[in-house]
Structure 1
Amino acid sequence: MDFDEVLKEVGSFGLYQKIIICSVLLPAALPCAFHAYSQLFIAASPKHWCRVPELEPWAQDYGMLVKNLSIPLGASNNSVEYESCQMYNRNYSDIVRYMEYRTPIELQQDKVWQIGNPGHGQIQACQHGWYYDRNMYTSTVVTEWNLVCDQSYLVTLALVLFGVGGLIGNYMFGYLQDMWGRRPSFYVYLIIEIVACAASAFAWNYYSWLGMRFVVGLTVPAILASPYVLAIELVGPDRRVFCTIVSNIAYSCGLVLLAGIVYLIRDWRFLTLTVSLPLLLLFSCYFVLPESPRWLIAVGKTQEAARILKTIARVNGHNIPPDFVKIMQQKLQQTDAAMRGESESSYGILDLFRTPNMRRKTLIITLIWFANTSVYVGLSYYAPALGGDEIWNFFLAGVVELPTYFILGPGLSYFGRRWILCISMLVGGVACVLTLLYDEQPEVMLLLYCVGKMGISSAFVVLPLLASELYPTVVRGLGMSFSSVVAMIGPIVIPIINHMGQHMLVLPLIIMGTLLIIGGLASLFLPETRGKNLPQTIEEGEAVPLSFFNCVCCCCCTKTPRSPDLNNSALVAKYKRQREREQIGRGRRQPITVCSICKNEIKET
């Protein structure tokens, strides 16, 4: 008996599932949202300019005068601004002696900055450190360790290594998820993440902080997968969309909440502790969170799965006979027997590529996952580059995601997964590419950015749902982790691309838009999974063909087969032998020809 049928008898979406979703799934999105993007503010680079010790007594009260005296102007993103890493090579001691004999009004009115014709003077790199604009942030990693100018690449390096950690962690924790189960693996990720993040607040130099952020990166992409997979494995097929949307709403709310926290806390050490230590409260749900019954059945632990089903039935208000566990074990016997052969063997990454349909699905899902992850992370990282208030931009980037989720609910149930995924990626991709035409119009660029963020947010909802419904239970965690591992190459490269955007603002958007368009077209090859039972074994997953090949073979099943090329002797001989067998069999039983892809009978017309 299929597990979805068993789940209907105990309640596929009752009070028990709602408790799990509200107490675990929603809060579990916060660690991922907090720790994935808090680094944008912890390592924010405020405006800065060269420090001149001789002019320092005047810097606080006459900041603009000090800049005019010491800092040259330069072009930056279609505007003229003070240089961040260069200063005039002047005799500032003589300038100070001149300024000492001027009243404050004279200093404001007199053109002191013209002394010595600085516009024609020599320019050199900063010699004595930097002044930082502390109106936005009181302290960041950048201001504490001077990660600017020739050291600015270290900020990008931190994001790159954070992505490398996610790549390694996804692959490593994917095995743990299928080997240990959903619940233990989630809490292992969580404790590692909280401890490493809190420890980074006490870093004594850049490299100690970088090491802790790498450890956090190991867990961030994987920590959301375990409760999400558990949630969709506890509900029926008709409620998977709900779980996916709720999970992403919680994630977007986490981004909005992070913007609020940053608005209140501008010191990077206190900010680090604020986004880590409160997450220890999630351990209070340890005894509420169950293990996945599907996973227990997949590994042959039917008795333990039956006990969990008994708890689900009791909480959902279903009548329970005294021998409920025994009855459930008998009903699960058929599923257990079908999966026992595979459960006793260890599954590896090669199992995703051994059979043709599974291999094609894995490659296509991985390509789309790579595009989605790269663009989602890239657009989130890109928000501060839009200009204006960085915190407000990040807040806006999180808020624009929420309307898409309320539209997706009925859309996924009515139109299915595949078309929603395709349209979302194409709309978002086109919007990003169109910024090339409006690079000098900030308002239009902001609008196109929001449309692109809404498109990728919609696609980001659909893809994990579609992937979890295509990968069989025995390799679901491994398959999703493999796709995530490859996809994490994107967040490794995206910070470098965004860094290049300092010279061409729309370059990152063009690259990300192109990725979305390619991924959207590739999604048309995947089969629709709306209302279908989750495949338990690799054989069940192999029985579901790709959408493109399914359409092709279905057309072949209803149309007259074409005659082979008569110039090919091998095909002619094969065609004659087939026709002779059909002629011999017509007197007794009409032969049946079956399509090798969809297993349907091919009828000639």
Structure 2
Amino acid sequence: MSLKDKPEAKYISDIVGEWGRWQLNLSAFVFVVISLNAYGDLSYSFHAYDVDYWCRDIPIESKNNISLEEYRCLEYTNPNQTCNQWEYNTTDFHKTIITEFDLVCDRSNYASLSQSFFMLGYLITGVLLSQYADKYGRKPLVWVSFVLQIISWILGATAVNIWMYSISRLLLGLAIYGCSGPISTSLLESCGPKHRSDIYMGAGFGWVFGYVMLPGIAFWLKDFRIMNWFGIVPIIICMVWFRFIPESPRWLITKGRTDEAEAILKKIVKQNRLSAKNFDQKFLQFRTHISKNQTSNKTTKTYNMFDLVKTPNLRNYTLIFWFSWTVLGLVYYGFTLNMGDFGGNFYITFLLSGIVELPSSLISILALRYMSRRMALITFLSIIIISSLAIIPTTDPNWKVTFALFGKFSVGSLWWIYEIYVPEVYPTVLRNTGAGTSSSFSRLGSMASPFMKNLAANTSLSVVMVLYAFLSLCSAILALFLPETKGTEIPDTLDDVKA
């Protein structure tokens, strides 16, 4: 059979197969990296564990005869004087940033600010630094991120004040996306079209694994400094593991480093126990296919984020997505980081809020299959509204937690749906820009989410729940003005999105 008669090798899977040891190893690595992301992201909930406190000047013999809550921010001996030294109940958690840095009374907002620093770091990397993975390769940015994570964990473990701890969270936010973004892209570039979405979603379940493991680790360690030291161990293991993971062959070909790509692909073929017969022909076809796409892209006009708001319809869709993603980030992390506000055992409620992530992802798949896109959005937003409002009159902590878990389940499902739906709305020439910019707005909402605990403390939990319900209602109404994309051809050009 001549070369012309052979099926053209358009995808990397045509050379290395759809699934094998190499894909399994890379998928497992991404799974672990994403689980570590969950540990780093959500560990703040335990670093800032809400412990009871009172002014230190209360005599021991008086503690059982008075309400300690009355003397949290005022001195016992002089009720007109603001307290500046405290004692803490460290039974449930021995050391937190609250107890170490006295983040109570008029300093309570500093704890929330430290998590906002983390989200800011995540936003900066997603918007500004992720482009360097396309320029310099997937592996260099991952290596830098690993080193940065170790530095951030050390800073957090040795922090002498809240500002040093906040800087550690900023660096960790920078590092986490700088690591997961490029390696996840490398995974996508290493899979064929047949199982790409399944492999990617399977690796993404690492977030759920890290989520549900976190409360057990926190219960075992009960010290935010030790939790920081503990975070270094798996990073070192991943660095050793990462040495044996090659650079993305597809990226190497796009940069003209074809000899390196060829050598890597030959090793992968051997690792996957496939025949090397006709390898040279297949590699030539694959390389030619990528080169043609590059040439086509170079002759096409370059678009940027400003094109998202040039035409009326696209502008409306973009503004709706920006608002919706902001609400999504606020409500998701609002429920996640502040589960203790709803009552019950914090370790158990946090574990349950992680477990519901798994069915929420599965239900979202069914919703996308059997419901229209807009109806799926409105349905889950409605559940958030009902759950949030149901919490307000409820006095039983168990029912409060139950309603909160329904809200968390729904916002988790929405996250998956938006991930699929948003790229379907944008034309091909703006798809990555539109989807990436929109999802970045979730970080703006998540930056505000830690302060929901402060808002609830200064007003009431009801105010926060009304806020969640109102913003979700706005998102549901705006969803009515979005186009329905289920069963339709996705647009390729700006002209396809009617002005």
User: TM-score normalised by the shorter chain: which range applies?
Assistant: 0.7 to 0.9
2:479 alignment partner in structure 1: 522
Partner of residue 27 from structure 1, selected from 2, 11, 32: 32
2: distance between equivalents of 1:316 and 1:452? 43
Partner SS, residue 272 of structure 1: helix
| 545 and 308 in structure 1: CA distance in 2 versus 1, 3 angstrom threshold | farther
Kept in 1: contact 2:130–2:181 (CA 8 A): no
Partners of 1:237 and 1:171 in 2: CA distance: 27
CA gap of 1:299–1:345, structure 2 versus 1, over 3 A, is: farther
Match of 2:18 among 8, 12, 17: 12
How far apart, CA to CA, are the structure 1 residues paired with 2:242 and 2:13?
Answer: 23
Of the candidates 230, 241, 248, which is equivalent to residue 285 of structure 1?
Answer: 241
C-alpha separation between the residues in 2 aligned to 1:526 and 1:229? Answer: 28
Stretch moving more, 218-227 or 459-468: 459-468
Q: Give how far 1:483 is off.
A: 3.2
Q: Which moved more, 1:221-230 or 1:484-493?
A: 221-230
Partners of 1:435 and 1:294 in 2: CA distance: 51
Kindly provide the CA deviation profile for residues 281-325 of structure 1, in whole angstroms up to 9, marking residues without a partner as x: 111232443434454455565665555554444444443225x24
Residue 397 of structure 2 is aligned to residue 442 of structure 1: yes
Contact kept in structure 1, 2:114 and 2:162, CA below 8 Å = no
- Opposite residue 54 of structure 2, the aligned amino acid is W
Partner of 2:214: 258
Matched residue type, 1:210: S
Q: Displacement, 1:399?
A: 1.7
Closer, same or farther: CA 340–179 of 1 in aligned 2, 3 Å: same
Q: Which of residues 156, 163, 167 in structure 2 aligns to 1:207?
A: 163
- Secondary structure at the aligned position of 1:13 is classed as coil
Map of 2:437 onto structure 1: 482
RMSD across aligned C-alpha pairs, in angstroms? 3.8
Q: Which residue of structure 2 aligns with residue 94 of structure 1?
A: none
CA 140–5 in structure 1, closer or farther in 2 if over 3 Å, else same: closer
Partners in 1 of 2:179 and 2:282 — Cα distance?
A: 35
Aligned residues of 2:155 and 2:164 also touching (Cα < 8 A)? no
Q: State yes or no: 1:426 paired with 2:381.
A: yes
8 Å CA contact 1:371, 1:516 repeated in 2 = yes
Within 2, Cα distance between the matches of 1:541 and 1:310? 35
Confirm or deny that 1:227 pairs with 2:175: no
Tell me by how many angstroms 1:244 deviates: 4.2
In the alignment, which residue of structure 1 is the partner of 2:128? 172
Q: Which residue of 2 aligns with 1:135?
A: 91
Cα deviation digits, residues 161-183 of structure 1 (max 9, x gap): 22222222222222222222333
Tell me if 1:270 matches 2:229. Answer: no
Which runs of 5 or more structure 1 residues have no equivalent in the other structure?
Answer: 72-80, 91-122, 550-596, 598-605
Q: For 1:352-391, what aligned pairs fall within 5 Å after superposition?
A: 353=308, 365-391=321-347
- CA shift at 1:209, angstroms? 2.1
1:85 aligned residue (73, 77, 80): 73
* TM-superposed deviation, 1:194: 2.2
1:187 and 1:333 map into 2 onto residues whose CA distance is 30
Between 416-425 and 180-189, report the one with greater CA deviation: 416-425
Distance 1:273 1:241, change over 3 A: same
Partner of 1:575: none
The 8 Å contact of residues 153 and 172 in structure 2, kept in 1 or not, is answered as yes
* TM-score normalised over the length of structure 1: 0.70
**Count, aligned residues:** 489
1:42 aligns with 2:30: no
Cα–Cα, structure 1 residues 210 and 287, in superposed 2: closer, same or farther, change >3 Å?
Answer: closer
Deviations 1:532-563 (A, max 9, x none): 9xx9xxxx8438956xx6xxxxxxxxxxxxxx
Using the alignment, how far apart are the partners of 2:224 and 2:32 within structure 1? 23
Of 103, 116, 139, which aligns to 1:147?
Answer: 103
1:370-389 Cα deviation digits (max 9, x unpaired): 33322221211121211232
Counting aligned pairs with the same residue, the percent is: 24
Match of 1:542 in 2: 493
Over residues 208-230 of structure 1, what are the superposed CA-to-partner deviations in whole Å (9 max), with x where a residue is unaligned? 22222222222334433223233
Work out the CA distance in 1 between the residues paired with 2:485 and 2:192.
Answer: 19
Q: Structure 2-normalised TM-score? A: 0.83
> Deviation string for 1:36-83 (max 9, x for gaps)?
121222233311112226x24x3xxx7413x35xx5xxxxxxxxx545
Deviations 1:507-545 (A, max 9, x none): 323333444455455395363599x9xx9xxxx843895
Amino acid at match of 2:25: I
